[in-house]
């Protein structure tokens, strides 16, 4: 099979690329391992060992096949739809991570974020609180020198596989292959260019796709797996001359941060609970509403002066009469009494604080290959996730800054409790019983962590070929026609959920291919 472009992986990046190239006059082959719905046999191809820091869940540590989806649409089949661009400070070096930065600033991605908003079914590209004042949002809880407010636009959530399937089907220049598993890239003799993608099916078929350009867009774990497995001409794997492929694996630490107690009737919490607002725009946005949700992040001043990684705090809610939320009422009077004693004010609202924290790029946090092969003969991946002590300490300090700012301006108080997996279902008398942390967690070097299922950094983007895997155009430094799509290329993780940035980068890559490569 031949095409101008072969895209491997039909997730947010791959579908965005294929959809953008539809009608371009260039032939596109989009291969997807899974079907249109999940199938256990295909999902099992994700299995592999996890060592290092445990990713916790209520039922125990997570496994590699639980944290990803391997069918058409990829992880957009289960994402929550939260969209916020990376902050400008996420692109540059900071005192906490002075040695790594993106090769360009936020302004480079802004036009692509704007276009990504349409694909993600968002409103206008503005994620500042000030930009949405006309939407009637309630006042933010915190707006100080150290803590500021951002607006998360919540997509429907847009399931790329379902929504854009029709567009791809109608595109005469796009061919979509499901149940088509890349097992390796074949290269020219010197390994400097990919000659073919070798595809296998679980039913035993094998064929190749030849193309001028290949884009690997299979997620932050499968990208390094497949690069490392493509070692026929380059024994260390494609793009791995400097031993960066698979390293710097980053996740978003996604844990409870405690409970905020706020004075009664002071706040309209709709900013945090989410507010539906009508938006107008081209195509599918017309006549629809989106949800806006307030979040607090540390300011550049806080990050720089305190040498911190970023955190994002959201206040979560769901109807009071639903499930575990009822339990919060059990400890409410307890926290309320303390609050009242401390401040002399009647408590009105108690709210769970959810944290999403940046992880530092760490070369020891990595994806490697095991000696065991999957049914297609591809070595299984092993993830050795290494959350550094500095990551945990930074999160604690960042949350303390938020808590202290809350107290300083008299907006409320925060009983902090970093960690925790989920609410206990049974009766609980204290905050700590409620969501499975103890006061000792504040001094222990480790606390249980759950994660955002965001896999980043394993084929990071750098200008210097010696420091990363892909160049600023997402091309593998040492391979002339191989590009990487998705969050594997993120040099830093920031604190915003990655899909929006993945789509923006894919749009930018599509533009680059059309204007610079496929001419």
Partner 1 sequence: MSRREQRLQQQRVTRRRFLGLAVGGGVVGAAAAYGIVQLAGGDDTKQSAGSSTTASSTQPVSPTETIPAGADSAYARVGRAYLQQAPEESSTDALQQALPPEFTAGGAPNWGALGPQVGTDYTKGDIVTLDGWRMSRTEARAAAYVALTAG
Query: What residues between 258 and 277 interact with partner 1 by CB under 8 A?
Result: 258, 262-267, 269, 272-274, 276
Binding status of residue 329 toward partner 1 by CB under 8 A: yes
205 or 289: CB nearest partner 1: 289
Binding status of residue 352 toward partner 1 by CB under 8 A: yes
Segment interacting with partner 1 (CB under 8 A) among 96-104, 172-180, 326-334, 490-498: 326-334
Binding mask of the shown chain, residues 190 to 229, with x at each position contacting partner 1 by CB under 8 A: ----------------------------------------
Give dist(CA 133, CA 153) in Å, integer.
14
Q: Spell out the residues 6+ positions from residue 250 whose beta carbon is closer than 8 angstroms to its own.
A: 359, 360, 361, 362, 365, 454, 455, 456, 457, 490, 492, 493
User: In whole angstroms, how close is the CB of 296 to partner 1 at the nearest point?
Assistant: 12
Q: Which of 10, 495, 508 is nearest to 252 (CA)?
A: 495
Residue with tokens 């004042």: 133
Tokens of 149: 């407010």
Please give the DSSP secondary-structure letter assigned to residue 428.
Answer: -
Give dist(CA 315, CA 319) in Å, integer.
13
Q: Which of 129, 125, 164, 173 is nearest to 147 (CA)?
A: 129
Binding mask of the shown chain, residues 428 to 467, with x at each position contacting partner 1 by CB under 8 A: ---xx------x--x-------xxx---------------
For residues 34-53, which are near partner 1 according to CB under 8 A?
38, 43
- Of the residues 54, 384, 422, 511, which one makes contact with partner 1 according to CB under 8 A: 422
95 or 333: CB nearest partner 1: 333
- Of the residues 323, 363, 377, 426, which one makes contact with partner 1 according to CB under 8 A: 323
459-482: burial string, b at 16+ Cβ within 10 Å, e else: bbbbeebebbbbbbebbbbbbebb
DSSP per-residue string spanning 47-86 = ---EEES----TTSS--TTTS---STTGGGGT---EE-PP
Please give the DSSP secondary-structure letter assigned to residue 117.
Answer: H
- Of the residues 9, 117, 161, 417, which one makes contact with partner 1 according to CB under 8 A: 417
Q: Spell out the residues 6+ positions from residue 50 whose beta carbon is closer than 8 angstroms to its own.
A: 61, 62, 63, 64, 382, 383, 384, 385
User: In whole angstroms, how close is the CB of 244 to partner 1 at the nearest point?
Assistant: 29
Q: Judge whether 369 and 225 are in contact, CB under 8 Å.
A: yes
For residues 397-416, which are near partner 1 according to CB under 8 A?
400, 403-404, 407-416
Binding status of residue 350 toward partner 1 by CB under 8 A: yes
- Of the residues 341, 440, 516, 519, which one makes contact with partner 1 according to CB under 8 A: 341
Q: Spell out the residues 6+ positions from residue 182 whose beta carbon is closer than 8 angstroms to its own.
A: 8, 31, 33, 197, 198, 199, 216, 218, 226
104 or 442: CB nearest partner 1: 442
For residues 138-177, which are near partner 1 according to CB under 8 A?
139-145, 154, 156-157
Tokens of 465: 């070929």
Segment interacting with partner 1 (CB under 8 A) among 14-22, 104-112, 168-176, 351-359: 351-359
2 or 346: CB nearest partner 1: 346
Give dist(CA 469, CA 98) in Å, integer.
19
Binding status of residue 58 toward partner 1 by CB under 8 A: yes
Give dist(CA 134, CA 137) in Å, integer.
8
213 or 262: CB nearest partner 1: 262
For residues 72-101, which are near partner 1 according to CB under 8 A?
77-78, 80-81
34 or 491: CB nearest partner 1: 34
The percent helix, strand, coil of the chain (3-state, each to 5) is: 30, 25, 45
Segment interacting with partner 1 (CB under 8 A) among 206-214, 310-318, 358-366, 458-466: 310-318
Number of residues that bind partner 1 (CB under 8 A): 102
């Amino acid at each position: 099979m031949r095409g101008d472009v072969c895209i491997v992986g039909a997730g947010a990046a791959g579908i965005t690329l294929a959809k953008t190239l539809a009608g371009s006059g260039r032939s596109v082959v989009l291969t997807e391992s899974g079907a249109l719905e999940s199938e256990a046999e295909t999902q099992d191809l994700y299995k592999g060992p996890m060592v290092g820091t445990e990713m916790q869940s209520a039922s125990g540590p997570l496994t590699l096949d639980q944290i990803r989806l391997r069918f058409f649409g990829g992880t957009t089949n289960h994402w929550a739809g939260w969209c916020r661009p990376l902050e400008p400070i996420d692109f540059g070096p900071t005192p906490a991570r002075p040695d790594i930065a993106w090769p360009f600033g936020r302004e480079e991605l802004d036009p692509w974020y704007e276009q990504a908003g349409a694909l993600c079914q968002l409103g206008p590209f503005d994620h500042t609180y000030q930009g949405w004042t006309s939407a009637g949002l309630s006042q933010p809880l915190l707006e100080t020198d150290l803590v500021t407010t951002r607006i998360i636009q919540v997509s429907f959530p847009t399931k790329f596989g379902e929504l854009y399937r029709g567009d791809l089907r109608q595109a005469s220049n796009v061919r979509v292959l499901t149940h088509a598993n890349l097992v390796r890239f074949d290269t020219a003799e010197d390994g400097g260019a990919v000659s073919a993608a070798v595809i296998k099916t679980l039913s035993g078929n094998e064929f190749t796709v030849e193309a001028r350009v290949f884009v690997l867009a299979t997620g932050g774990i499968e990208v390094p797996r497949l690069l490392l497995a493509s070692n026929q001409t380059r024994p260390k794997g494609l793009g791995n001359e400097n031993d960066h492929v698979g390293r710097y694996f980053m996740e978003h630490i996604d844990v409870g941060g405690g409970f905020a107690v706020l004075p009664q009737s002071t706040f309209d919490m709709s900013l945090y609970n989410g507010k539906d607002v009508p938006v107008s725009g081209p195509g599918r946005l017309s006549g629809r509403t989106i949800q806006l949700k307030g979040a607090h992040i540390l300011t550049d001043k806080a990050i720089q002066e305190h040498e911190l990684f970023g955190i994002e705090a959201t206040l979560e809610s769901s109807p009071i009469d639903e499930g575990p939320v009822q339990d919060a009422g059990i400890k409410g009077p307890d926290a309320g009494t303390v609050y009242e004693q401390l401040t002399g004010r009647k408590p009105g609202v108690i709210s769970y604080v959810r944290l999403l924290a940046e992880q530092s790029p760490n070369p020891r946090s990595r994806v490697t290959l095991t000696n065991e092969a999957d049914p297609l003969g591809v070595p299984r991946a092993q993830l050795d996730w290494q959350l550094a002590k500095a990551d945990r300490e930074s999160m604690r300090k960042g949350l303390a800054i938020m808590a202290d700012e809350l107290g300083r301006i008299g907006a409320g108080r925060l009983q902090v409790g970093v960690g925790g997996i989920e609410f206990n279902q049974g009766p609980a008398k204290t905050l700590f019983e409620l969501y499975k942390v103890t006061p000792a967690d504040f001094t222990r070097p480790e606390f249980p962590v759950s994660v955002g299922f965001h896999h980043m950094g394993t084929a990071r983007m750098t200008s210097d070929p010696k420091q990363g895997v892909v160049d600023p155009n997402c091309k593998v430094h040492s391979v002339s026609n191989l590009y990487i799509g998705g969050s594997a290329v993120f040099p830093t993780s920031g604190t915003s959920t990655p899909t929006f940035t993945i789509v923006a980068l894919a749009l930018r890559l599509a533009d680059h291919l059309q204007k610079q490569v496929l001419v």
